[in-house]
Structure 1
């Protein structure tokens, strides 16, 4: 059947207004348990299973919708670019595999629901991967391919009284699989809803409602095109189509419904009608204010009797390009977006409504305003949620052929799909049409996309021209023209992937740049990533032509499975024995596969926030608020402020603030009086929602900023002095140890390697392993992609394999100063000096100075590492938190006092890697719960990391579940650790300003203080 808008016939206007498909008398779900058989290739399939006489009694059952790979058949396979059959068959397009191409045979029976007699009956398959045949009662009904848009068939000629046997044969791969080479898990089966529906003798088969705003973006023209069908091919006479618009309260908006009368004669099987109505100043739809109306279309016969009613949500909005800028309702839009694969760790792409609801609520709560449906049309429910909650959508055609072409090719090679090959033209046009027809009534969709990573060619220009002609209300997007500039006419926007900030800025500031610019993919969120995101979002605010981007991507594509021992874990590519595969490259999510929030998402929230706070005069408490919203005044929010003294809240209040969109205002905060001894004062300014939204309770924070206030008039008394003369010190050489003893404590330095080997306070040994220099972090996915672990390998064991070249000590009035000089075996020799000032109070001031050798690569981190017994499992810190933070990813973290277990600091990325770091740490402690603790203080700031594992242990295991039980706590105290980066995960390092270049001397100090009851 022809593609058409998503709708369902209802028996009354009231039912249509509610829009609950499942409540319609015309709807019958076929979801549930079906009979199922599986074969590894077409030659082994059960050829005659569809025949009416075939006995399926001995067959297994399978759930529909689902993927058969998640029900015990076949195997899931994750590949990024490579076609999944490359390891088993050498194919050329358009041929499909024959050696291993599994076939699933599905069977179930149904009875035509009561009340449908004499009416046509249709079946809708919302999503089947990748191609399938349908039989009813032994008769071939049809065939379809295109995994992600509906395939519908008219079952009426094949129906019979009583039980009807429905048989479906699904192929894992087909010729169309050349067009479905998306970066995702390759899985198969009936994975979206299947249902029957009926319609009366005359039926509103399709409709398209568009809203055209006037030049002032105030009043609107509602235009309606509809297709009527006469299924009985007999004289129906004059039918009437009426259309009424209803507001959110269910009240009619139009004083008179739109009415069109049409003659449907015996020779009229299909009829097109058009109508329009003026709507005075409707509420406008935007992501900020997703105002929706409901359009109900009624079809009546000659006697005025209602035959059916269908409905759709309508949003009045304009999206256009003017003067090279994309505008939503006349305002320059910034896409604060994310790419979203449909995926659940439990059900794959058979995504449930609750998963979708979780996604949309999280996106709204974390300031994401746009989503790209990478790289195929999503479940129709997703667009309904985007309409309702307010997300701008790039709807993408089911098209990716990444494995068929080569980067920087000077020609469109014959293997390139679809290129300019006319053999593929009808196919790709059909895919674009199926997407457009199904989704055209959703106000959330502002762009159509031609697909992803499929190079260029004339077929894309044909797709573009078709979409623009069929729907002038939206623009067309395609990034692939960057690979083949001869196809420039295929896109209305300049769209890039993973272009670095400097080049983005260059394009945006070039007066000859012809189109608005977006990053359809950027900030590759693989593993511990999203460093440097602020460098992009600052450009979104300052360079008009640069209108945002879409982070890759939303949720980790990992599958919850069991190993041979029955242990459950998150599986990635290769875990099912498949070849080829691309490992954990599927782990790029801002949220984890179980939909829990990762630290990366908090950085996104802050960088994407729609209001900024800057200091004007912090001594007087004056700050400036800039409103980045397009349609929302800041008076919609409560301004909340607080002042914390040394991390403990001392004052809090709320203020009213108002600033129109794009405007700024100054606010004076009534700061409390402070004394010099009060310590560091931190002002936090937040904007909180005044009222509850569907996606958040009242009081939800939408924006924040922090400021360290200038010190009070008098400086605090310096630490040390008389207090440091608390007791006498003794120093002795005992075997291979240099031991300093004082009142209630002792400290020992290993004379062979210069490390602090023991620190005892109150009779408790605080060290399990020595405190020694360390210059290595467990490499991240981004590090691995940039070959950082190879390039910088000279630093990996530099601390551990150091050579002690000098050790000296000196007893002073209030301390013993121990100085250890080291040679580091880097490619060109480096040197390092560590000093331990053991104070009579029992505290130890530690200093480290690193002098790198000539011509060395960047240093992963500069600091000291020690281990403690595993009973020391409690961490407290005063610094940025609560999530981990890094030099280039700390905007979303707040200065404060935080606490948790050491185990909780581990972040479960798909592959173990560096995680758990804290920046801007003033002080911290690791304790055992029995009164013993080791405290750390920066002079003034340090970075701190406490985990159950060393960096080398994290690198040694490729899955989290393989990490052994730990009996220790590993603490790394750093001057700095390099940034995590994230521009991409296959070559880009962190930005230069976030690297520890080996061309200077580094030094830092911190204090250890053991405490014991």
Structure 2
């Protein structure tokens, strides 16, 4: 059947206003248990299983919707670019694999409801991967491909009274699979809903709603077009379609319904259209998703109601004007994310609760746009985007990444300009457009992803613009083949570094609005440097945002025999080819829990900007970056903290229209003076005054912090008593330093601080040693950092003592060390320990790298403690991990936690758990004994149950050893995590530790007796 808008019939106005399609009496779900048989390839399938008398009672059960690879059949296969069949079938497009092309045979029965008698009966398959045949009662009904849009068939001619046998034969791959080479898990089956539906003999088959706003974006023209079919010709004649608009309260908006008259004459369908002006309706936007309900009532020539259908309507105007994309007349900034449909338990058979969870997380973390990468999503997703407010780039199910390469002749590329593929690609974009055309959330059509260029994309563009002039068309692939530039109304690129964006913005002459359809590749520990992108988006109007890659880690939860489970990625099922953990790119983890990356996104995407106008005088500027929201909808709260602990708080009455800035004075909140070692921080927090559909009142949408310039008093310093110097004694190869209730030992053969006891408790499990390595991240591996920076891997552990001196004076014992680091050429490290009478150990270091060495991953000291020392506190950025280039979303405060909870379960174990801008920190046991670390002035801090080498040795989280220690890293600097991409891009230079200068660091270690 021809593609059409998502709709269902209703019996009454009340049902139509409610709009619950699944509850319609005209719909019958076929979800549930089906009979199932699996075959390795087409030749071994059960050919005649569809016959009416074929007995399938002995077959296995298969839930629908589901994907058979997650039900014990076949294997899931994760591949990014390469076609999954290349190692077992040597084929070229358009041929499908034959040696290994599994076939799933599905069977179930149903009985048509009595109330549906004498009505046409249809079946809808919302998503089947990748191609299938349908039989009813032994008769072939039809065939379909295009995995991600509905396939519907007319079953009426094949129905019998009583029980009907429905048979479906699903192929893992087909000729259409050449168009579906997306970066995702390759799986199969009936993975979306299957249902029967019916309608009166004369019924609305399709309709299109357009809400065109006038130039000032105040009043609207509501236009309705509809296709009405006369299914069996028995009720030929005149019909009337009435369209009435209702507000959220169910009240009529139009004084009179739009009346649209039509007649069939000798045809089996007719087109009707009508329009009306709506004065100043509430407008739809992601900020204010105001929705109305349009109800269509179909009447016959005698005025009798035949059918109700309905849909939600949002009045909004999206256009490109003067080179900028605008929503309701205002320049839009897309703060977006790409979203694959995926669940770690059900694959692409995503449930409603998963979708709602995604929507709420996006809204509460300031994401305002989503790209349906790289195929049309489940219809419910668009309903949710309409209701909660997200801008959508709706993407055609088209990617041929494995069918082309840079420099390849155009004639060999699929689909390019090859005419045999034109109907295919037009059909794919049409199926998407027809289904989703009535959703206000859909602002842009996309032609697909990474399928190169060619005339076929220009034809797709022109077709969509002709069918739906209200939306621009997007396609990044024209950057590969500029001859196809007319295929995209938007300049769209992937993973461009910030400098490229600025170069585009500064180009002279007219240009298209620019977006990054993919950027800030969120693989593993990533999304560093996001602040730089947002600064450019705000600075240059033509740079209109981007979509982070991507939303959720695509990993599969595998249960083990002992009842535990782990997250599997490419290669874990013995499949080949595969692309390993490249599927782990999510801002949220595979179980849909929040990763620290999402907190950075929330901060960078916030719509309220707070800056100091005059920090010394206590005046601040609060700028409203919303397009349609006044700041009066928020509570502006402030908190004054001393060394991370709140001491005073209040709130400000702030009102500012969209785009406006107000100045507030908080000088009265400033403290008069601070004692030594006291720091005052002022935190602003913008929270919702009232509960919304997506968050409770009090939810924080934006924050900012300022360290206050407070006058420091010296009175405290005058009363400090200096403890007597500790005693030092050489005992063989050990320097023993002892004071009241503490003892410190240095190994004179290595220079290590090897023991630290306080009150009889040993604090060190392994000595303190210099460290210049962090566990490699996915981004590190992608840019060959582990190989390039290899000289630093063992530089600390393989150091050679080149000099040692120690001396004592009236205040302290000093131990001075010089190490030669085997970095080829050697680097030098000078360490100085000063042990004072109160047990404090001041550590000072100076690293002089050898000439020509690569960048340094980390500079700091590392030691281990007994696992009982599992409690940490820190006054610094938190509460989740932070990094040099990813710390905007962390708050400067006093935080605490347990060591085991600092490990972040990225899909592949890697560097994690770091804390930046730390002023002081502690590591203690249950009794409170341990260490306090103080910075001079700050340091980075990392305490995990594993050493860097242990983390690097394991490729899965569940393979890490049982925690038997607390590994403490006191870090002067650690390079940023980067994230422009994960296959070559390095950390931005400003967050890189280059080996071209000397680095000095210092901190103080103080024992806590408990």
Which bin holds the TM-score, normalised by the shorter protein? over 0.9
**Deviation (angstroms), 1:565:** 5.7
Q: Is the 8 A contact 1:724 1:814 kept in 2?
A: no
| RMSD of aligned alpha carbons | 1.1
* Corresponding position: 1:388 with 2:426: no
**Deviation (angstroms), 1:562:** 2.7
Q: Is the 8 A contact 1:38 1:105 kept in 2?
A: yes
**Deviation (angstroms), 1:727:** 3.1
Kindly provide the CA deviation profile for residues 687-710 of structure 1, in whole angstroms up to 9, marking residues without a partner as x.
111101111100111111000000
Q: Is the 8 A contact 1:498 1:519 kept in 2?
A: yes
Give the 5 Å matches for 1:204-283: 204-265=204-265, 267-283=266-282
Give the 5 Å matches for 1:67-78: 67-78=67-78
Q: Is the 8 A contact 1:762 1:1011 kept in 2?
A: no
Partner of 1:915: 912
Structure 1 counterpart SS, 2:567: strand
Partner of 1:674: 672
Structure 1 counterpart SS, 2:703: strand
**Deviation (angstroms), 1:413:** 4.0
Could you tell me which runs of 5 or more consecutive residues in structure 2 were left unpaired when the two chains were aligned: none
Output the CA distance in 1 between the equivalents of 2:366 and 2:376: 23
**Deviation (angstroms), 1:346:** 0.6
Kindly provide the CA deviation profile for residues 900-942 of structure 1, in whole angstroms up to 9, marking residues without a partner as x.
1000000000100000000000111111102311111101100
* Corresponding position: 1:759 with 2:756: yes
**Deviation (angstroms), 1:986:** 0.4
Q: Is the 8 A contact 2:637 2:650 kept in 1?
A: yes
Q: Is the 8 A contact 1:76 1:187 kept in 2?
A: yes
Q: Is the 8 A contact 1:850 1:1001 kept in 2?
A: yes
Q: Is the 8 A contact 2:799 2:822 kept in 1?
A: yes
Q: Is the 8 A contact 1:419 1:456 kept in 2?
A: yes
Output the CA distance in 1 between the equivalents of 2:75 and 2:32: 22
Equivalent residues, number = 1008
Distance 1:479 1:992, change over 3 A: same
Give the 5 Å matches for 1:107-506: 107-265=107-265, 267-409=266-408, 411-414=409-412, 416-506=413-503
Output the CA distance in 2 between the equivalents of 1:784 and 1:248: 52
**Deviation (angstroms), 1:722:** 7.1
Kindly provide the CA deviation profile for residues 627-646 of structure 1, in whole angstroms up to 9, marking residues without a partner as x.
11111111111100000011
Give the 5 Å matches for 1:782-801: 782-801=779-798
Output the CA distance in 2 between the equivalents of 1:674 and 1:858: 44
Output the CA distance in 1 between the equivalents of 2:252 and 2:628: 26
Q: Is the 8 A contact 2:675 2:712 kept in 1?
A: no
**Deviation (angstroms), 1:264:** 2.7
**Deviation (angstroms), 1:236:** 2.8
Distance 1:802 1:724, change over 3 A: farther
Q: 1:985 aligns with which of 957, 982, 1001?
A: 982
Give the 5 Å matches for 1:505-524: 505-512=502-509, 514-524=511-521
Could you tell me which runs of 5 or more consecutive residues in structure 1 were left unpaired when the two chains were aligned: none
Q: Is the 8 A contact 1:738 1:750 kept in 2?
A: yes
Output the CA distance in 1 between the equivalents of 2:510 and 2:536: 16
Q: Is the 8 A contact 2:382 2:439 kept in 1?
A: yes
**Deviation (angstroms), 1:23:** 1.8
Partner of 2:86: 86
Give TM-score scaled by structure 1 length: 0.99
Partner of 2:539: 542
Output the CA distance in 1 between the equivalents of 2:503 and 2:290: 37
Output the CA distance in 2 between the equivalents of 1:724 and 1:94: 85
Structure 2 counterpart SS, 1:725: coil
Q: Is the 8 A contact 2:79 2:183 kept in 1?
A: yes
Structure 1 counterpart SS, 2:410: coil
Output the CA distance in 1 between the equivalents of 2:903 and 2:44: 48
Kindly provide the CA deviation profile for residues 333-353 of structure 1, in whole angstroms up to 9, marking residues without a partner as x.
000000000000010100000
Q: Is the 8 A contact 2:756 2:762 kept in 1?
A: yes
Structure 1 counterpart SS, 2:114: coil
Output the CA distance in 2 between the equivalents of 1:686 and 1:621: 16
Output the CA distance in 1 between the equivalents of 2:88 and 2:264: 56
Q: Is the 8 A contact 2:9 2:199 kept in 1?
A: yes
Structure 1 counterpart SS, 2:531: helix
**Deviation (angstroms), 1:3:** 0.1
Structure 1 counterpart SS, 2:505: helix
Q: Is the 8 A contact 2:848 2:999 kept in 1?
A: yes
Distance 1:567 1:236, change over 3 A: same
Partner of 2:19: 19
Q: Is the 8 A contact 2:725 2:809 kept in 1?
A: no
**Deviation (angstroms), 1:300:** 0.9
**Deviation (angstroms), 1:755:** 1.2
**Deviation (angstroms), 1:407:** 2.1
Kindly provide the CA deviation profile for residues 854-874 of structure 1, in whole angstroms up to 9, marking residues without a partner as x.
010000000000000011111
Distance 1:715 1:612, change over 3 A: farther
Kindly provide the CA deviation profile for residues 605-657 of structure 1, in whole angstroms up to 9, marking residues without a partner as x.
00000010001122332110111111111111110000001111010001111
